[in-house]
């Protein structure tokens, strides 16, 4: 069961009423919104709960993902950072400024202010711990090495990986999702300010997901419906098992991949070949040879020549957990769009030139990455026909602890255990 | 007067009803939306008119800007491209696919499909011509050299410019604005496909602008209200004068600048110094020493020591057209957010490291860039206190012809005149 109750409050982030030049009143208080925004956009997602929000929370339209490197020498500094992040996250997700505003102008301010007046926008902040929190360069910096979960492996190198070091890894992760890109970025920026001296930005990636208003499955940048198949029992697919360390109870493992899509190549490819590659029809989303999006894949269907209707190396076949002996994973993907830059494609016709730097910010949650993403993608990386159009250029694996309770802070059980 | 009537229709981009595996009916037709979206998001902005849409059109929440290099050898190929772009733009802005869908799967498809089901989202497509359309490397490729407007100058190098060649210039420009980032990107992608063989992408930049639902002035990533001052008579500020070539009548000149903001530096700066830099109070948006955002700047106000209340090198003083003998310009700015990358800051404390690649996609329209942006920014580039926080890293100047009438195509008057 998801521990979060969604509270679609109407609230505004104005949070401060301005009087004379910069003098503030009603500092940081939530003020009922007067705007025309819909209930959905205005909503507040509960920050506290059994599980962290942002995992089973229905996807918001925007995401800003950030990974940080810890620079703190001392364990206490890490604890202080996580406490400060928790306090700020409680406020930010409620549509408030990162800290109460005050009238003083002699410092850099408790909040950078660009979200004042915007709605809470269902902001969720989901935190994760990378392997580097436990051991980095062979060093147990914070006395946590013994508590590193076995499931928090070093991801293997997958076939075709072209990971850019500056877009990979990180000791801490923050997934900020909101129905407003400025609200998501604002939240991470406040956390980054609180991290001065103890952690620094390693990489970030913005993403978006546009959902058709009629509730049909959204399409990714390849023009195909993405997200037709979701775990029937998300709670079983997502939450870490009891065999791991106690501090990860009610938590989940996040695998992130920044996947560049060769859109120019894709856009010049016949639709029939796109469909063979995916194993689904493009416009309807139905499995190849079928009519309706939500029909079972029917992976054992053969054509008149006794060839499988859905090819052996089609994306949906290889990505199907049941067919590959893998555990189900919960995908939470966003498209990304970073403009254009010079690229040499990896596959024929080996096009070179200015191409879109766009694709998929793939996020997935699971009970254990070894039986989830690693198992599933290990096969896909070798055989998936889609590989000729996609390149993994960054990402990471993060252990996202259980939810934060009233009066506690992020990772408290980890630091109490050690 | 703005030649556009805004028609806040409810319409959906489903545009096609899927039957058996990929077989299509009702190809490309507009279908009434069944979704929960607001009238604003669902709206259609008229494509045809005296002026191009996307200039005086109230700003949409997202922008995708793209510049193309012409590779066509022949003038006819350019005309054909502009005709194809016009046809597609008519459809796309009406919430349709780029071309009518058909049942054939043997080609790459008339549309890449990722906007099917999304609302028209007030999409506007605004086209511009760079100097390279008229003369490139000293060559008059298309017999248009004599029709290059005097106002379409080569932008001078401004103080502090750090323009990246791969993010600067272009022979053609497309500004796609929509209330959905996927709709804006989708539109440019369709145009890019139509350009295969005659023009190729040179650079692109995505942007966003989050407007408070209560109608107050939006804040940029510096946390200040941005857009308090707009021309009192936008029509006088924007449309090209009669002294230019006839084909530019009812058109406008667009200056684009990709402005990276040193957000880390800014975020560590005292609010009082931020306010001196801007010349406005941060939270209220009022001119320094005043209480209300919309009060006149009062640039001649002095303090008790006879020093100007708004410093001589404050951003608002130098950016004030009237005070600088410049013509007014219409700003249409978006924030951009391209993740983080390694940067060496230009100013003390000369910080180096992974920093946000974020800032402002500055777009402004004017009757003549020589009396508008060039005059205004020439002074600002030298003296503006804000320069220690911002770096111009790309951009261009484009002549945006007048609106497209029924039965005509983009730039028709230019090619008919030559």
A222 in contact with chain B, both atoms CB, cutoff 8 A: yes
Tokens of A294: 């939500």
> Could you tell me which of B219, B393, B341 has the C-alpha nearest to residue A205?
B341
Residue B9's pLDDT is 38
Helix, strand or coil, per DSSP, at residue B49: coil
Greatest extent of chain A over all pairs of C-alpha atoms, in Å: 80
A356 in contact with chain B, both atoms CB, cutoff 8 A: yes
Helices A181-194 and A75-93, packing angle to 10 deg: 150
**Distances in whole angstroms, Cα of residue A277 to Cα of each of A309, A310, A363, A382, A392:** 12, 9, 22, 14, 18
Q: To which residue do tokens 């496909």 refer?
A: B193
Section A179-196 average pLDDT = 98
Dist. CA A200–CA A400, nearest whole Å: 19
Name B79's Cβ contacts closer than 8 Å, sequence gap at least 6: B409, B415
- Find out whether B167 and A340 touch, Cβ atoms under 8 Å: no
Does the residue B7 lie in any domain? no
B210 in contact with chain A, both atoms CB, cutoff 8 A: yes
Residue A33's pLDDT is 32
Residue B258's pLDDT is 98
Q: CA end-to-end span of chain B, whole Å?
A: 29
Dist. CA A248–CA A245, nearest whole Å: 6
Residue B24's pLDDT is 35
Dist. CA A41–CA A34, nearest whole Å: 13
**Residue A386 predicted with pLDDT over 70:** yes
Residue B219's pLDDT is 97
What's the predicted TM-score (pTM) here? 0.91
pLDDT tens, position by position, A225-259 = 999 888 989 999 999 988 899 999 999 999 999 99
Dist. CA A33–CA B210, nearest whole Å: 15
- Find out whether B280 and B317 touch, Cβ atoms under 8 Å: no
Which residue is closest to B166 within chain A, CA to CA? A341
Dist. CA A132–CA A202, nearest whole Å: 12
Distance (Å) from the alpha carbon of A336 to chain B's nearest alpha carbon: 10
- Find out whether A80 and A194 touch, Cβ atoms under 8 Å: no
Q: Residue A414 burial by CB count (10 A; 0-12/13-18/19+): exposed, middle or buried?
A: buried
**Residue A16 predicted with pLDDT over 90:** no
Does the residue B19 lie in any domain? no
Helix, strand or coil, per DSSP, at residue A131: helix
Cβ separation B21–A200 shorter than 8 A: no
Residue B104's pLDDT is 86
Helix, strand or coil, per DSSP, at residue A385: helix
Cβ separation A18–B223 shorter than 8 A: no
**Distances in whole angstroms, Cα of residue B362 to Cα of each of A53, A347, B249, B256:** 35, 37, 24, 6
B201 in contact with chain A, both atoms CB, cutoff 8 A: yes
Residue A351's pLDDT is 84
Task: Give the up-direction half-sphere exposure of residue A296: CA atoms within 13 A in the CB hemisphere.
Answer: 7
- A112 closest CB neighbour out of B166, B223, B286: B223
B25 in contact with chain A, both atoms CB, cutoff 8 A: no
- B118 closest CB neighbour out of A202, A212, A286: A212
Tokens of B204: 């692109």
- A35 closest CB neighbour out of B193, B212, B269: B212
Cβ separation A201–B356 shorter than 8 A: yes
Query: How confident is the prediction along chain B (418 residues), in pLDDT tens digits per residue?
Result: 333 433 333 344 443 333 222 333 333 322 333 233 333 446 999 999 999 999 999 999 999 999 999 999 999 999 999 999 999 999 999 999 999 998 889 999 999 999 999 999 999 999 999 999 999 999 999 999 999 999 999 999 999 999 999 999 999 999 999 999 999 999 999 999 999 999 999 999 999 999 999 999 999 999 999 998 889 899 999 999 888 999 999 999 999 999 999 999 999 999 999 999 999 999 999 999 999 999 999 999 999 999 999 999 999 999 999 999 999 999 999 999 999 999 888 888 888 899 999 999 999 999 999 999 999 999 999 999 999 999 999 999 999 999 999 999 999 999 998 6
Does the residue B106 lie in any domain? no
Cβ separation B108–A337 shorter than 8 A: no
Does the residue A235 lie in any domain? yes
Residue B351's pLDDT is 84
Cβ separation B21–A270 shorter than 8 A: no
Dist. CA B13–CA A362, nearest whole Å: 26
A283 in contact with chain B, both atoms CB, cutoff 8 A: yes
Q: Return the residue in B15, B88, B103, B113 with the most chain A beta carbons within 10 A, the one to mutate for interface testing.
A: B113
**Number of Cβ within a 10 Å radius of residue B64:** 26
Residue B266's pLDDT is 96
DSSP code string of A190-219 = HHHHHTTTTEEEEEEEEEE-PPPTT-PPPB
A183 in contact with chain B, both atoms CB, cutoff 8 A: yes
Residue B344's pLDDT is 87
Cβ separation B281–A222 shorter than 8 A: no
Does the residue A337 lie in any domain? yes
Dist. CA B195–CA B190, nearest whole Å: 9
Cβ separation A36–B213 shorter than 8 A: yes
> Could you tell me which of A310, A331, A314 has the C-alpha nearest to residue A379?
A314
Plot region of B176 (φ>0 → left; ψ -120 to 50 → alpha; else → beta): beta
**Host domain of residue B162:** 40-100+115-417
Q: Return the residue in A223, A275, A292, A294 with the most chain B beta carbons within 10 A, the one to mutate for interface testing.
A: A223
pLDDT tens, position by position, B90-128 = 999 999 999 999 888 999 999 999 999 999 999 999 999
Does the residue B13 lie in any domain? no
A208 in contact with chain B, both atoms CB, cutoff 8 A: yes
- B340 closest CB neighbour out of A204, A219, A337: A204
Plot region of B169 (φ>0 → left; ψ -120 to 50 → alpha; else → beta): left
Tokens of A37: 């925004």
**Residue A35 predicted with pLDDT over 60:** no
SS3 letters for A346-369? Answer: CCCCCCEEEEEEEEEEEEEEECCC
- How many domains does one find in chain A? 1
- Find out whether A410 and A129 touch, Cβ atoms under 8 Å: no
- Find out whether B13 and B96 touch, Cβ atoms under 8 Å: yes
Dist. CA A235–CA B272, nearest whole Å: 50
**Residue A159 predicted with pLDDT over 70:** yes
Residues 87-126 of chain A whose Cβ lies under 8 A from any Cβ of chain B: 101, 104-109, 111-119
Q: Which residues of B251-263 are buried (b: 16+ CB within 10 A; e: fewer)?
A: bbbbbbbbbbbbb
**Distances in whole angstroms, Cα of residue B312 to Cα of each of A417, B69, B270, B309:** 59, 41, 19, 9
SS3 letters for A33-70? Answer: CCCCCCHHHHCEECCECCCCCCCCCCCCCEEEEEEEEE
B349 in contact with chain A, both atoms CB, cutoff 8 A: no
Q: How confident is the model at residue A102 (pLDDT cuts 50, 70, 90)?
A: confident
- Find out whether B163 and B395 touch, Cβ atoms under 8 Å: yes
Name A408's Cβ contacts closer than 8 Å, sequence gap at least 6: A86
Dist. CA B76–CA B56, nearest whole Å: 32
Does the residue B4 lie in any domain? no
Does the residue A121 lie in any domain? yes
Residue B38's pLDDT is 37
The residue that leads in pLDDT, B21 or A224, is A224
Dist. CA B35–CA B10, nearest whole Å: 9
Name B168's Cβ contacts closer than 8 Å, sequence gap at least 6: B203, B394, B395, B396
């Amino acid at each position: 069961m998801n521990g979060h109750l969604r509270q679609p409050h109407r609230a505004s982030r104005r949070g401060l009423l301005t009087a004379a030049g910069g003098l503030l009143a009603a500092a940081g208080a939530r003020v009922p919104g007067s705007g025309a925004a819909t209930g959905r956009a205005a909503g507040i997602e509960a920050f506290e709960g059994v599980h962290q929000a942002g995992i089973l929370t229905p996807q918001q339209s925007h995401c800003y993902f950030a990974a940080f490197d810890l620079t703190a020498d001392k364990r206490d500094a890490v604890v202080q950072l996580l406490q400060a992040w928790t306090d700020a996250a409680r406020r930010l997700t409620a549509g408030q400024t990162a800290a109460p505003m005050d009238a003083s102008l002699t410092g850099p301010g408790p909040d950078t202010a660009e979200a004042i007046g915007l709605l809470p926008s269902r902001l969720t902040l989901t935190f994760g711990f990378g392997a580097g929190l436990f051991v980095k360069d062979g060093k147990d910096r914070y006395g946590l090495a013994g508590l590193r979960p076995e499931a928090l492996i070093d991801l293997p190198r997958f076939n075709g990986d072209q990971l850019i070091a500056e877009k990979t890894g990180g000791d801490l992760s923050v997934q900020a999702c909101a129905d407003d890109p400025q609200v998501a970025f604002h939240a991470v920026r406040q956390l980054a300010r609180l991290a001065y001296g103890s952690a620094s930005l390693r990489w970030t990636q913005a993403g978006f997901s546009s959902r058709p208003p009629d509730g049909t499955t959204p399409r990714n940048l390849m023009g195909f419906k993405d997200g037709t198949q979701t775990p029937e029992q998300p709670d079983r697919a997502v939450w870490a098992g009891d065999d791991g360390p106690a501090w990860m109870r009610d938590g989940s493992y996040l695998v992130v991949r920044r996947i560049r899509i060769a859109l120019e190549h894709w856009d010049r490819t016949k639709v029939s070949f796109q469909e063979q590659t995916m194993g689904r029809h493009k416009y309807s989303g139905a499995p190849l040879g079928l009519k309706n999006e939500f029909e079972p894949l029917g992976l054992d269907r053969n054509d008149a020549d006794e060839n499988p209707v859905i090819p052996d190396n089609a994306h949906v076949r290889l990505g199907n957990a049941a067919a590959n002996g893998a555990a189900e994973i919960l995908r939470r993907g966003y498209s990304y769009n970073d403009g254009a830059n010079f690229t040499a494609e990896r596959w024929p016709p080996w096009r070179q030139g200015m191409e879109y730097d766009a694709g998929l910010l793939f996020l997935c949650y699971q009970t254990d990455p070894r039986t989830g993403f690693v198992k599933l993608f290990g096969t896909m990386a070798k055989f998936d026909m889609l590989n000729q159009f996609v390149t993994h250029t960054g990402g990471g694996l993060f252990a996202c602890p259980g939810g934060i309770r009233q009066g506690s802070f992020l990772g408290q059980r980890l630091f109490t255990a050690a």
